[in-house]
Amino acid sequence: MSDIALMFEQIEEFNDTITERRTDPDPVVRASVKYRRPISVTTMHNIRATLRHALNMAMRQDRLIDFNPAAVLEMSAKTRPRPLVWTDARVRSWQEDYRSYREAEKQRRGGRRVDPIDAYTSVPRSSPVMVWTPAHTRLFLEEARRHRLFARYQLIALRGLRRGEACGLRWKEVDLDGHSLTVNWQLVQLAWQVHEGTPKTDASVRTIALDTDTAQVLRAHRQQQLQERLAMGEAWTDSGFVFTQPDGNRLHPQHVSDQFLWLAYLAGLPPIRLHDLRHGAASLMLAAGVEMKVVQETLGHTSSAFTADTYTSVYPQVATAAAEKTAALLFGGEGDQAEPGKLISLRS
């Protein structure tokens, strides 16, 4: 029991170390934890569940122990943060905090330059999981259109692929004429090493329909990649991936996330994680009236109950439409969906 408790105490100490080093004035210290993420409460619960299962097997099959200490270990309650939309009020509040944070950091560093992306991602948000409005997403895609891998971002924003699924997508799984693609593989980052494997669950292996515009964007990307291949000649690596480095080699998932943050910053948008772009795709589908089962299958969720519990309250117009339809049943009126909130420019 004490060994297991000690393990989780060390995890919490590891988290504290990351948090402290991320705010250290020494850039070398900050760089030492650049790609290290704190272990979340949810992950710690998953670690305990795996350990508990292994110890249960030891009790039942090998009779090595007669007591499972992982079953009685007390841990913090596991809560899954709900996605929140970047409303006008939340954007204004974040803007004020962002300006104050940059000024305070500049003074703390004696007038030295503050890394804009560090400041951009360090300011607290209303929730760890934030979602852009449709207007925000349109502005991001306009900015990302200049990037050589623009098709990747449109695919995630509209079809909700996970980062690893987009990085691991191969051309042999894409049917441009049939407007569909199949998710069979993903690239996973463990520490800094990249590993190739199957998607998270059986439900994650799926075929996704493509809209006409996204299919055209992918077709243009294919032509661009063929031009890059001709330019590289024998130096080209034929990896078969849809999204690659200029020499054909596979992408590193962390570089994809870094590029996304930079593009979002350049677009003057409030910050979200790359994975939150997938959340936005789910919310967009629901706001457009797509059936819950279709959204679940597109995202690769195991159950539609999880999809409904996570996303149905994200966009205000979804709840407003439900209220209007309910009133229409009683009074016989016709309800209209609320218009998405107007975009606030973050450029200063």
3-state secondary structure of 152: helix
Tell me the average pLDDT across 70-85: 76
Token couple for 169? 């997508």
- For 115-135, give the DSSP string: PHHHHHHHS--SSSSEE--HH
Phi, psi of 145 (to 5 degrees): -60, -25
pLDDT at 62: 66
Q: What is the rounded average pLDDT for all residues in the chain?
A: 85
* The predicted structure's pLDDT at residue 28: 84
Q: What pLDDT does 333 receive?
A: 54
Q: Give 122-146 pLDDT, tens digit per residue.
A: 899 988 889 998 899 999 999 999 9
- Look at residue 312 and tell me whether its pLDDT is greater than 90: no
CATH architecture, range 84-285: Orthogonal Bundle (1.10)
Nearest Cα to Cα of residue 272 among 130, 81, 157: 130
Distance CA 257, CA 192 (A): 13
Of the candidates 236, 275, 235, the one whose C-alpha atom is nearest the C-alpha of residue 256 is 275
* pTM above threshold 0.85: no
Pairwise CA distance, residues 332 & 302, whole Å: 37
Place of tokens 């803007």: 95
DSSP secondary structure string for all residues of 263-306: HHHHTTPPP--HHHHHHHHHHHHHHTT--HHHHHHHHT-S-HHH
**Strand, helix or coil at 84?**
strand
24, pLDDT greater than 70: yes
Share of the chain above pLDDT 70, in %: 90
Residue extents of the structural domains in the chain: 2-71, 84-285
Q: pLDDT tens across 213-270, in order?
A: 999 999 999 999 999 999 999 999 999 999 999 999 999 999 999 999 999 999 999 9
SS3 state at 250: strand
Model pLDDT for residues 198-224, shown as the tens digit of each residue: 887 888 999 999 999 999 999 999 999
d(CA 39, CA 10): 11
Write out the E strands in 73-160.
84-85, 130-131
Res. 318 pLDDT band, cuts 50 70 90: low
Given a cut of 50, whether residue 335 has pLDDT beyond it is: no
